[in-house]
A and B are shown apart, each in its own frame.
Chain A
Amino acid sequence: MNVLKEWIFTTDHKRVGILYLIGSLAAFAVAGIVAMLIRIEHTTIGPTITNNPHDYNVWLYFHGAAMILGFQIPVLTGYFANYCVPLMIGAKDVAFPRLNALSVWLFYAGIVLALATFVMPDPPDVLWTGYPPYSTITSGNTAFYTFTVLLIGFASILGGVNFLTTIAFMRAPGITWNKLNVFVWSIFAAFVLQLIFVPVLGSAVTLITFDKYLGTTFFDPTKGGDVLTYQNLFWFYSHPAVYVIFLPFIGIVYEILATFAKNRVFNYKMVVYGGFGGIVLLTGEVWVHHLYVSGMADWIRVGQMVTTLLISVPVGLVVIGLVGTLYKGAITFQTPMLYALGTLFLFLIGGLTGIPLAVASLTIHLSDTYYVVGHFHYVMAVAGTFAIFGGIYYYFPKMTGRMYNETVGKLGFWITFIGTNVVFWTMMDIGVKGMPRRYFDYAHFPQFEFAHQIMTVGALFIGLGFALAIFNWIHGALKGEKAPDNPWGSKSLEWTTATPPPSGNWKEIPKVAEDWHPYAYGNR
């Protein structure tokens, strides 16, 4: 009883982090099952498991919204940030522990609303984008969509306030800005983005609910409104959102690569200031590339093409840093490392296939096809998820005090990795050939039926691989061997605590040596 109380009323950053982990993995599991439904529905032309196209819209809504807002953003900026940032900067907790607990419970409130989708008579059916005019006239419950976004968004804003203050003011003596872990920097950058851009998303989704239920006319052209206002506000957040996901997941990959290559981070300052800094500066200037086919003046298209392509410069710096960190490293291939390398591979494919989408003349053909779906799953959805799974494996011993099973871990990785490429490569392929996205029934495109069947099989592989990983964690947490304090031999500060870290993390605030550095493997 007491233990339960210490968990649900907790204000400790590690426990808040684990609560985030449980909630976001639950969202991932449900959204993953829904993805399987979507894939199975496409196994045959015409209805397969449901006759009702409306069900299909609801699934698409839930899959997208839950994966992005319920899984990736919370697991990265909630779980990983909470668990690792205070440990990495030598702090006893975050700046505002109670606020932190409020964040996690607001996040759960959002998850509850999202899950209501499966029990309510009129679930939202507006996809994750909620575009008007559909969202303001549908019989689905757009208000639940709005409030899900608002609750999780508000949680994230409070998290941003908390973590930016923590990182700025609570670093242990001697841990200067240039000695922060790359992951801490990535969280700093991601939360700056969240603070600037989430409010804009919040406004956008609030306005559709006002329009639908209170009768305002923001998006009603007959009364002086304009639907393009919504698209602009929405993508003004949602392009940066991909970097809110990208930054922390690449931060995790940096931690894993440095540890398993026993190597310094290559070009640290270039990665942090040039790469992350450049992304933060540029990412607010490119949202219009999501509106290429919504209609706009040509000069805007060209301008957006230039800024969009320009973003590849800081992203390139980040990738060069990753490859350089591997260079001449003493690499070992445990499960976390496999996932981290998998991320790098998937991100490269995703990034390169994004370039045609940035080019206005090409994207007019590719837009709204499966090509786009394949691209963003490579670049964000699965690349991010691989990094997340690698990160959970990486911190698993610290978090639970036990080891997972290495063989099962590797098996799960390979199964998912193969499934991923089968599914999303095929998607890009049929997309180029003309398969549109968001179709319930593809009767007009019978030539793609076989490809859809292959993808369904691949999707089942992905599901199996992820399920193995989750099974491995549960089993390891209960029955695994005892883990040492620093099983990977990392130099970073979070591994100097006891395992699992006690309340307050260290007896005293840790003191670091003059020449300490989180990546000081003796070969700087």
Chain B
Amino acid sequence: MSDHASIQQEHPQHWETSIWPLIMAVGILVALPLGFTFKFAYNQPLAAVLCLGVGVPLIIAAVAGWVNEAITGGEGLSAPAMGWFILAEAMIFVSFFASYWYMRLTAPDWPPGGTPELPVVLPLVMTTALVASSLTFHAGEVMLGRGDRGRFVAWLVVTMLLGSAFIGMSLYEWAHLFGQGFNFETNAYSTVFYTITGFHGAHVAVGLGIFLAMLVPALSRRTNDGFVRTAGVYWHFVDIVWLFVVSQVYYW
């Protein structure tokens, strides 16, 4: 064994490096904790905007650089790893729902005073859009499996449009409810409504970001099957969670 060691010393070895993880961590630190704190704790919107202005580009650069490095190498175990990640994600939703159920079941009356009529049709449309986007993504995956990159890109774009439409409708609804005086502080129902739909919406947004990170290299004919499958697992998960959100928060 010790001769092994001496060989190693004669030839300086090559250590693997990547700059992007560090960049991403710095971006996250500046954009989220510092941005949030300046805005909401210290009431300094300008400083908060500055934090976002520095942090968000760093995050975007890191995602782009990272994808660029990884897409050819192929981290082949990412789909099973996504399974573990989803376990963790599911637990976040479980704790939000648990807080919600606890509040609701111990409340003297529900919905509490100050709650306006919630829209009935819009959530149905949103549900349709999201479920459809899962199907269109799957269609894209099938196309990629057949080696048809062009159709894959087309279905991917359709998926992204559906996802964006979902977010658009969600924002419209929030704005509408805010207009009726139903905001974060109104009552227990508004608290869970905004927390749960907001948190789910953030997941949709992250999913769209992942798709974008896939779309850009795909346009220059670079795709990675493992990456696509992993993103799909995540997207289907976000879709399924929505079914819980819609049934518990809107229609119960």
Contact = CB atoms under 8 A, between A and B. Distances in A.
B21 interface: yes
A217 B188 contact: yes
Contact of A215 (B25, B78, B184): B184
Nearest to A211: B191
A161 B89 contact: no
Given A213-B40, A224-B103, A224-B112, A5 B17 contact: yes
Give the secondary structure class of B's interface: helix
Interface string B120-148: 00000000000000000000000000000
A162 B80 CA distance: 10
Interface in B51-104: 66, 69-70, 75, 77-78, 80-82, 84-85, 87-89, 91-92, 94-96, 98-99, 102-103
Contact of A147 (B22, B24, B26, B32): B32
Interface residues of A, number: 71
Contact of A141 (B37, B81, B188): B37
A162 B83 CA distance: 11
B8 A498 contact: yes
Interface string B186-204: 0110110011000000000
A496 interface: yes
A502 B9 CA distance: 9
Given A213-B40, A218-B191, A503 B21 contact: no
A22 to B, nearest CB: 15
A6 B87 CA distance: 34
A218 B192 CA distance: 8
A38 to B, nearest CB: 26
Contacts of B36: 143, 147, 213
Contacts of B112: 224
Given A165-B80, A200-B91, A498-B5, A101 B185 contact: no
19 contacts: A5-B17, A11-B16, A96-B75, A101-B18, A109-B29, A122-B41, A143-B36, A157-B88, A160-B88, A195-B91, A200-B91, A203-B99, A207-B99, A213-B41, A215-B183, A216-B194, A217-B191, A218-B103, A224-B103
Interface of A: 5-6, 8-12, 15, 93, 95-99, 101-102, 105-106, 108-109, 112-113, 122, 141, 143-144, 147, 150-151, 157, 160-162, 164-165, 168-170, 195-200, 202-204, 207, 210, 213-218, 223-226, 229, 233, 236, 484-486, 496, 498-499, 502-503, 507
Shortest 5 CB-CB contacts between residues of A and residues of B: A224-B188, A105-B25, A147-B33, A215-B185, A101-B21
Interface of B: 1-2, 4-5, 8, 13-22, 24-26, 28-29, 32-33, 36-37, 40-41, 66, 69-70, 75, 77-78, 80-82, 84-85, 87-89, 91-92, 94-96, 98-99, 102-103, 106-107, 112, 183-185, 187-188, 190-191, 194-195
Given A226-B102, A226-B103, 8 more contacts: A102-B25, A195-B87, A195-B88, A213-B41, A216-B184, A225-B103, A486-B1, A507-B4
